[in-house]
């Protein structure tokens, strides 16, 4: 049974993920920062983390016993919990495989999971979540203005950060326990309900080459299955998926 501790708040950290990775906190620790000076995405990309407006937090799981595949699946579990929490706030977000949270096709949030493995089992897993909440369009740097959004920008509504965090942590704890006790299959069905690109044409960029096809489903491991023009199925393990700006009929 996974149980989180009461969140610990910091005014500023380099990165909530780094802070948990570099220190020796107990299982279930939740670290929240008002701002991050070196917020990170995957592959050393930057996470824009201005003060006071958004949520930046990380959760530590010690010896959860997860295999490398389960650590990957944790991305999808986390995404389901986030969209479920948002749904309760009246916000219908969707998921871009594997780890982006979208609202009206723009990026509302991201997930960064980092782990320390030993003999194929996770000794330490840090789940980092960044969610754009009350940030206005003027607070989004120009290079992100086409791709990023916030709850405030999309709904015009101000959200109470503490309440939202509480809701998110409840849902995350619930879904980690469902995942741990009942396995990924339970999460998979939920995940597919929120995958906005299901049945759409996508381009997958991977190590310098790309595959175009229809996003059909995710398999029992959580990998994305796409079907190309020749009808061949491709199983996508990691990579950036981006949707083509035209639908499948070419309109």
* Sites of contact with ligand BT5 (CB under 6 A): 15-17, 36, 39-42, 45-48, 56-58, 99-100, 107, 110-112, 128-130, 132, 144, 148
Cβ proximity to ligand BT5, 46 vs 157, nearer residue: 46
Cβ proximity to ligand BT5, 15 vs 115, nearer residue: 15
Residues 109, 94: contact at Cβ < 8 Å? no
Residue among 226, 224, 231 at smallest CA distance from 192:
224
| Minimum CB–partner distance for residue 38 and ligand BT5 (Å) | 7
Beta strands in the chain (DSSP E): 8-13, 30-36, 55-62, 94-96, 100-103, 106-118, 121-131, 201-206, 209-218, 224-227, 233-236, 240-243
Cβ proximity to ligand BT5, 19 vs 184, nearer residue: 19
| Minimum CB–partner distance for residue 247 and ligand BT5 (Å) | 24
| Minimum CB–partner distance for residue 129 and ligand BT5 (Å) | 6
| Minimum CB–partner distance for residue 10 and ligand BT5 (Å) | 12
Please give the torsion angle defined by the CA atoms of residues 164, 170, 173 and 177, in that order, rounded to the nearest 10 degrees: -140
Residue among 204, 201, 229, 237 at smallest CA distance from 216:
201
Cβ proximity to ligand BT5, 112 vs 122, nearer residue: 112
Cβ proximity to ligand BT5, 51 vs 65, nearer residue: 51
Tell me the C-alpha distance between 71 and 62, whole Å: 13
| Minimum CB–partner distance for residue 13 and ligand BT5 (Å) | 8
Residues 177, 2: contact at Cβ < 8 Å? yes
């Amino acid at each position: 049974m996974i149980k989180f501790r009461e969140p610990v708040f910091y005014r500023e950290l380099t990165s909530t993920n780094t802070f948990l990775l570099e220190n020796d906190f107990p299982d279930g620790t939740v670290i929240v920062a008002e701002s991050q000076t070196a917020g990170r995405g995957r592959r050393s990309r930057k996470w824009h983390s201005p003060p006071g407006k958004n949520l930046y937090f990380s959760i530590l799981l010690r010896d959860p016993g997860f295999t490398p595949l389960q650590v990957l699946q944790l991305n999808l579990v986390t995404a389901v919990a986030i969209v479920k929490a948002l749904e309760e706030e009246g916000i219908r977000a969707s998921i871009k495989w594997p780890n982006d949270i979208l609202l009206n096709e723009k990026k509302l949030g991201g997930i960064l999971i980092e782990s320390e493995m030993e003999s194929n089992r996770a000794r330490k897993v840090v789940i980092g979540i960044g969610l754009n909440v009350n940030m206005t369009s003027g607070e989004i740097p120009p290079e992100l203005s086409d791709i990023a959004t916030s709850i405030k920008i999309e709904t015009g509504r101000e959200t109470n950060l503490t309440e939202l965090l509480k809701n998110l942590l409840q849902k995350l704890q619930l879904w980690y326990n469902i995942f741990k006790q009942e396995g990924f299959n339970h999460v998979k069905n939920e995940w597919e309900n929120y995958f906005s690109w299901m049945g759409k044409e996508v381009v997958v960029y991977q190590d310098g080459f790309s595959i175009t096809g229809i996003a059909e489903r995710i398999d029992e491991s959580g990998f994305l299955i796409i079907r190309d023009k020749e009808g061949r199925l491709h199983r996508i393990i990691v990579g950036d998926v981006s949707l083509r700006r035209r639908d499948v009929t070419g309109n």
